[in-house]
């Protein structure tokens, strides 16, 4: 039996109004054969989690440039757990200082991609690390 296609939600939490990178990665995921749901700008962690659950995604990719990553990304993780969806993997990308990455990973963020990471590397990471949820 063939494994089902991965479903990825790409979210833009908070007041960050720049979504070019999110659109680029969403297109790269689509071109790699994944099903992609893009939530659009200015989403709360609760809205992102609600969409992830409704869409039955395998993982969530969060793009953030606003500097609020230490608050918003852990809040997404916490809300997923509270809603019984803690098995949905979450990764992040954007302007995130290297010094902040260990804290994000301690909060449950699986991986963090910083500026300059190629879309090919991100797609390869997803293919190697994300599997369809049961």
pLDDT tens digits, residue range 11-44?
Answer: 999 998 899 999 999 999 999 999 999 999 999 9
Rounded-to-integer distance, Cα 104 and Cα 75, Å: 11
Domain 7-129 CATH superfamily:
Cobalamin-binding domain (3.40.50.280)
Domain coordinates of the chain in residue numbers? Answer: 7-129
The confidence band for 106, taking pLDDT boundaries of 50, 70 and 90, is very high
Helix and strand numbers, DSSP H then E, in the chain: 5, 5
Q: What is the pLDDT of residue 1?
A: 52
Average pLDDT value for residue range 68-96: 98
Can you give the pTM of this predicted structure? 0.95
């Amino acid at each position: 039996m063939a494994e089902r296609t991965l479903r990825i939600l790409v979210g833009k939490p908070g007041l960050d109004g720049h979504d070019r990178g999110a659109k680029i990665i969403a297109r790269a995921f689509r071109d790699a054969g994944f099903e992609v749901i893009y939530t659009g700008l200015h989403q709360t962690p609760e809205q992102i989690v609600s969409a992830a659950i409704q869409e039955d995604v395998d993982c969530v990719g969060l793009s953030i440039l606003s500097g609020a990553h230490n608050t918003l990304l852990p809040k997404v993780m916490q809300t997923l757990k509270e809603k019984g969806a803690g098995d949905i993997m979450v990764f992040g990308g954007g302007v995130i200082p290297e010094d902040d990455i260990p804290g994000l990973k301690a909060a449950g963020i699986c991986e963090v991609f910083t500026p300059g990471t190629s879309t090919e590397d991100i797609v390869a990471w997803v293919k190697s690390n994300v599997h369809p949820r049961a």
